[in-house]
Chains A and B, each alone.
Chain A
Amino acid sequence: MTSKRIVLHFPHRLVDQPLVYKLVKDFDLSFNILKASVTPQEEGLMVLELSGSEENFDKGVMYLQSCGVKIQPLSQDVVRNEAKCTDCGVCVPICPTLALAIDPATRKVSFDDAKCIACELCVKICPTRAMEVHF
């Protein structure tokens, strides 16, 4: 079993295709939509947590890519800009998944992108806007 958070970018010609349905039907994958912005005539964006057997996951991803969907892991899209972060920690209690934490010894903020669900609550909360989303 594997479970990964991925970001899908659909070209506008694919917006009316039932791509996620195919992932379930043909590849036996289960999904959890964390974020979706799909509007006619525009590029679609979807953040998915996709789970299934390793083999099916890879096949599913290959299928999406063959349709023209650009895929990248979520961790590349939500970034903590270390030059801007002051390690204050005001983001820590705001993060619903504990992806943001403060090290008890160094008092420095850490960001675990594997736990991030891209809710973006931290983005505007951060006084120096150190949390960046690059969808």
Chain B
Amino acid sequence: MRSIKEINEKIKKGQVVVATAEEIIDLVAKKGVAKASREVDVVTTGTFGPMCSSGAYFNIGHSKPRIKVGGGSCKLNDIPAYCGLAATDIFLGATALPDDDPRNKVFPGEFKYGGGHVIQELVSGKDIRLEATGYATDCYPRKKLETLINIRDLNEAVLLNIRNCYQNYNVAVNLSDKMLYTYMGALKPRLGNANYCSAGQLSPLLKDPHYRTIGIGTRIFLGGASGYIIWHGTQHNPAVKRKDNGTPEAPAGTLAVIGDLKEMNPRWLMGSSMLGYGVSLSVGIGVPIPLLDEEVCASAAVRDEEIYARIVDYSAAYPQMAPESLGEVNYAQLKSGKIIVNGSEVPTGALSSYAKAKEISQELKSRIQKGEFFLSEPQAPLPGAESGYTCRPLKERPFFSP
């Protein structure tokens, strides 16, 4: 029907027609898939939620005299960063905590400040304390460095997230008699609440369930700037059971993404503290879906009512890696505020912000319409359901020291 190249021509001429993933639903309902797919060129998706496998790498520049932080140690506002790289390259993970954080010693730990918060403060333009040590070499004689740094002075500041944008997720509940503090939020005992974490009908990979348009090299909205999909994310698991509309019934595909942190905005990158669990980074991502044909359009028009998630008990089934589910519910039910689990009514809560996801889909739409954002051709596909690619559990093998 149309190619990405043709869509970009239309963007250049200011003639492109863009609909958000919400708007295409109404359009298809009103006009049918055939007509809607002829009229609309691009559908914009969005998601905003805690994504723990996020991080950023930096080149801090060489001090005078030089120091080899690589192989030494490095902290940003007391948060340890990884420095097993070249002299002045460091990587900060979103879940990193200060060495002296009490963690869960006083349960539930508050996890007030960690890697995700440092990334947010850097993006906000705040000065950050860098404390680094090196072991001194002939070419890098210095052993200690203490300085304020600012994102504008770093040579590179790049967001690099190895697992974002889960294609669907569990609905977490608690069947036990005690309160649970999980990455899915606080779960009240005896089915006190049910927490979910997906933008449902706005979520990027749920709107292109077979990765027909989203692939390696796809340009995306990332943290307020433009970024790219660089690989499938870790734990990518495309082979899970799917509904007839292609949407998976359980967590499936994931994305690895990259983008220039210097161009991002703290509105879309927020340090998050999960009580009793740890620190994370809430990330805003939007992916454009070029409507190449009617099939892509039909997938992009899937509604909350047609996307199902599994209810999982986080007191036993999840921690014990027991795969059983307590049933499935769709996102319209989840968004209604209550669902039925084991015969009782359970109030729902979300970790993923639908309001922000919607805002991202609208922002991406407006950037495309204004000619500020062009679509890119994927250079390679993500492993699909038929590829045989799966996420396997760890098979432990004991070892004995000689």
Task: Show the binding face of A for B, using Cβ within 8 Å.
Answer: 84, 86-94, 102, 104, 106-108, 124-125, 127-129
A93 CB contacts on chain B under 8 angstroms: 188, 192-195, 347-349
Docked-complex contact B347 and A88, CB < 8 angstroms: no
Most chain-B Cβ atoms within 10 A of its Cβ — which of A84, A93, A107, A125?
A: A93
Contact B350 A90 (CB under 8 A): yes
Chain B interface bracket (under 10, 10 to 19, 20 to 34, 35 or more): 35 or more
Contact of A89 with B349 at beta-carbon distance under 8 Å, contacts A94-B186, A127-B273, A128-B272 already known: yes
Residues of A close to B280: CB separation below 8 A? 127
B353 at interface by CB-CB < 8 Å: yes
Instruction: Check B270 for interface membership: any CB of A closer than 8 A.
Output: yes
Contact partners of B271 in chain A: CB under 8 A? 128
The complex places the Cα of A127 from the Cα of B358 at a distance, in Å, of: 20
Given A89-B353, A92-B337, A94-B349, 5 extra CB contacts under 8 A: A87-B356, A88-B356, A90-B349, A94-B193, A127-B280
CB-CB < 8 A to B348: which residues of A? 92-93
Cα-based distance from A104 to B194 in the complex (angstroms) = 17
A88-B352 contact given A124-B275, A127-B280, CB 8 Å threshold: yes
B23-49 interface code vs A (CB 8 A; 1 in, 0 out): 000000000000000000000000011
Give the CA-CA distance A11 to B108 in the complex, in Å: 33
Q: Which of B251-295 contact A (CB under 8 A)?
A: 270-275, 280, 282
- C-alpha spacing A106/B354, complex, angstroms: 9
Is B224 at the interface (CB under 8 A from chain A)? Answer: no
Give which listed residue, B108, B195, B355, contacts A107 with CB less than 8 A: B355
Q: Are B185 and A128 in contact (CB under 8 A)?
A: no
Let me know if B50 is at the binding interface, CB within 8 A: yes
> Bound complex: CA of A106 vs CA of B271, how far in Å?
24
Give the CA-CA distance A56 to B336 in the complex, in Å. Answer: 43
User: Does B328 make an interface contact (CB < 8 A)?
Assistant: no
Tell me if A106 and B186 are in contact (CB < 8 A).
no
Per the bound structure, the CA–CA distance linking A125 and B188 in Å amounts to: 12
